[in-house]
């Protein structure tokens, strides 16, 4: 009589395990152990028996922590299209502003070198004027970059 009771209890556990895997999509063996109140080895053995019987399809992970169903169904939720829609504030082209800023920095470096190695005040004055022209070009480039609208 006790053997029949144990067999009946195990078939109930099998049915509960099939319900967990198939209906509730539980994949963690730890959750199965908690629900069925069985040890890890018993749950693994029950899964192997159910796989042999063909009541469930899948495999136990290599680490023995999960059961992956092989007959998982694709969701009926609509797929979100993956468009390359770039937000409006990202469409602003900053290349002209970057070019002006780099040109302004280059002019300033040339003016600095000219002022450093100037042999006369005419060369030094020309370097200073060139330096301020480069500074204005740099600021115009930075202003151009700053015209990009920020997201709302």
Q: What share of the chain is helix, strand, coil (3-state, %, to 5)?
A: 60, 5, 30
* 13 CB-near residues (< 8 Å, 6+ apart): 36, 38, 46
pLDDT the model gives residue 3:
34
Alpha-carbon dihedral of residues 32, 37, 40, 42, nearest 10 degrees?
Answer: -100
Would the pLDDT of 149 be above 80?
A: no
Q: Please give the residue range of the domain that contains residue 65.
A: 2-69
Same domain, yes or no, for 50 and 98? no
Q: Is 80 a member of any domain?
A: no
Would the pLDDT of 100 be above 60?
A: yes
pLDDT the model gives residue 98:
94
Strand-pair partners of 60:
67
Same domain, yes or no, for 53 and 99? no
Would the pLDDT of 7 be above 60?
A: no
Q: How many domains does the chain have?
A: 2
Same domain, yes or no, for 56 and 93? no
pLDDT the model gives residue 87:
67
Indicate the SS3 state at residue 60.
Answer: strand
Positive or negative: CA dihedral 123, 129, 131, 137: negative
Per-residue pLDDT tens digits for 19-51: 888 777 777 878 888 888 888 888 888 888 888
Tell which wins on pLDDT, 20 or 125.
125
Same domain, yes or no, for 45 and 92? no
Q: Please tell me the distance from the alpha carbon of residue 47 to that of residue 68, in angstroms, as a whole number.
A: 11
Q: Is 24 a member of any domain?
A: yes
What mean pLDDT comes out for the span 45-67?
83
Same domain, yes or no, for 52 and 106? no
Q: In angstroms, how far apart are the furthest CA atoms of the chain?
A: 116
Q: Is 75 a member of any domain?
A: no
Same domain, yes or no, for 25 and 65? yes
Would the pLDDT of 68 be above 60?
A: yes
Decide: 29 and 65 in contact? Cβ < 8 Å.
Answer: yes
Same domain, yes or no, for 96 and 42? no
Same domain, yes or no, for 62 and 10? yes
pLDDT the model gives residue 55:
84
**pLDDT tier at 127 (50, 70, 90 boundaries)?**
very high
**What CATH number does the domain containing 47 carry?**
1.10.10.10
């Amino acid at each position: 009589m006790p053997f029949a009771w144990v067999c009946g209890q195990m078939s109930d556990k099998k049915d509960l395990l099939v319900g967990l895997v198939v209906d509730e999509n539980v994949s963690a063996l730890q959750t199965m152990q908690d629900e069925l109140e069985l040890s890890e080895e018993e749950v693994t053995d029950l899964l192997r028996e159910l796989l042999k019987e063909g009541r469930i399809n899948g495999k136990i992970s290599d680490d023995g922590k999960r059961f992956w169903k092989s007959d998982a169904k694709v969701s009926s939720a609509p797929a979100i299209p993956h468009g390359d829609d770039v937000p409006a504030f990202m469409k602003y082209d900053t290349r002209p502003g970057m070019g002006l800023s780099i040109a302004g920095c280059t002019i300033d470096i040339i003016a600095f070198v000219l002022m450093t190695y100037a042999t006369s005040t005419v060369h030094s004055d020309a370097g200073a004027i060139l330096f301020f022209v480069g500074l204005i070009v740099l600021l115009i480039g930075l202003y151009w970059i700053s015209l990009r609208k920020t997201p709302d």
